[in-house]
Amino acid sequence: MLLRGGGVSACNAAVGESHRNCHFSRLIRRPVEKTAGICFYGRAQRAHSLRVTAVATGEQKSKAQEPSYQPSLADRLRLGSLTEDGLSYKEKFIVRCYEVGINKTATVETIANLLQEVGCNHAQSVGFSTDGFATTTTMRQLHLIWVTARMHIEIYKYPAWSDVVEIETWCQSEGRIGTRRDWIIKDYANDEVIGRATSKWVMMNQDTRRLQKVTDDVRDEYLVFCPKTLRLAFPEENNASLKKIAKLDDPAKYSKVGLVPRRADFDMNQHVNNVTYIGWVLESMPQEIIDSHELQTITLDYRRECQHDDIVDSLTSPELETASELHGSNGSPTAANDENESLQFLHLLRLSNDGSEINRGRTEWRKKPTKR
């Protein structure tokens, strides 16, 4: 819920439910900004200066609200904090040179990593565990962790090297077996929304690897830090984040086989990290699309965990409506009449040995802008 984890599908649950271009140049001279009573800079802050407004229920305090709370060095230097009502978290990030790709802009993997980072920092700010699982007290007692069931990311404008983005995140309940986390991504220079994302998480027993219902005890522990009324990053009716991903027909038009998890692909939860799956999905995209288009939307359904010795195949085919547009053009995905058309693709990650489905995905691509 509040942090990253290996992906499994909610469909496999054995629980009986279906379930700004701105630069922080001379950063230390920038006026001190305060949000929710938290000073971003300055090493002489006292614990009482990091209070946040009590959440509505008053039943539980965030870590920063505790009288004995002493901020760590990371807390003092991090450009993030809970919002004034304590029900969401915002943090600013500078895009580093090693986070941009061939388009000289941040890659989708960079965006996904930042989403994970802000979710992790949100979890720590409300006092959840810092061991990588963002678990509540009850969850730790019962050996329960959160794992990703679905991730949906839309990027309207990619930030470039040295741009500053501000990401806001919050979490909410999602039925009896899971929770959701949403994000809003803004260009800090002009407050423009440049991306949105949402995700669904389910609870899994760390020992048995089986999914479990979210108990009332666990729900009570984290709902105190959630908005009291439904707040969605994608409030539009029938938005793309709700679209079911059709199964890709075999044989696929494009493929990349023999992908193997590297040691660096495993996160602190000892899972292949969610962002690795994004990279694997894109490995089978045709090069002509990579050259002419940029990723606008990606949706991934996580259906099973990938182990360190697994071999993975990445399969990609145009979605039906895209395929019909390509008819009569020798199947070239770049042949199109409309310069502003978008292309949609279906994706499948599966085990090479038995074809077991690991991940099902859908992507949408737009023409690259002519000038950066």
Count of domains forming the chain: 2
CA 170 to chain CA centroid, Å, is 12
Looking at residue 13, its pLDDT comes to 42
49 has a pLDDT exceeding 90: no
Active-site hit among 269, 273, 274, 359? 269
Burial class (CB in 10 A: 0-12, 13-18, 19+), 16: exposed
Mean pLDDT of 275-302: 96
Q: Which of 271, 273, 293, 359 is catalytic?
A: 271
Q: Is 271 a catalytic residue?
A: yes
If one compares 210 and 169, the residue with the highest pLDDT of the two is 169
Is a pLDDT exceeding 80 seen at residue 166? yes
Q: What is the pLDDT of residues 333-371, one digit of tens each?
A: 443 445 567 999 999 999 999 999 999 999 999 999 876
Tell me the residue range of the domain where 264 lies.
243-319+340-371
Residue where a domain stops, chosen among 216, 239, 262: 239
Maximum distance among all alpha carbons in the chain?
Answer: 70
Residue 366 near residue 342 (C-beta atoms within 8 A): yes
Burial of 181 (0-12, 13-18, 19+ CB in 10 A): buried
Q: Is residue 42 part of a domain?
A: no
Tokens 């070239």, located at residue = 332
pLDDT in tens, 68-121: 667 788 888 889 999 999 999 999 999 999 999 988 999 999 999 999 999 989
CATH of the domain at 366: 3.10.129.10
Q: Which amino acid belongs to residue 338? A: D
For the cut 50, the answer to whether the pLDDT of residue 32 exceeds it is no
Global confidence as pTM: 0.79
Residue at 46 is within a domain: no
The percent of residues in the chain predicted with pLDDT above 70, rounded, is 74
pLDDT in tens, 106-150: 999 999 999 999 998 998 888 887 665 678 888 888 888 888 999
Cα distance from N-terminal residue to C-terminal residue, the chain: 36
CB atoms within 10 A of CB 167: 25
Q: Give the pair of three-digit tokens for residue 311.
A: 């071999």
Q: What is the DSSP string of 90-106?
A: EEEEEPPGGGB-TTSBB
Catalytic-role residue among 121, 122, 306, 347: 306
Six-digit token pair at 37? 């009573």
- In this structure, are 122 and 200 located in the same domain? yes
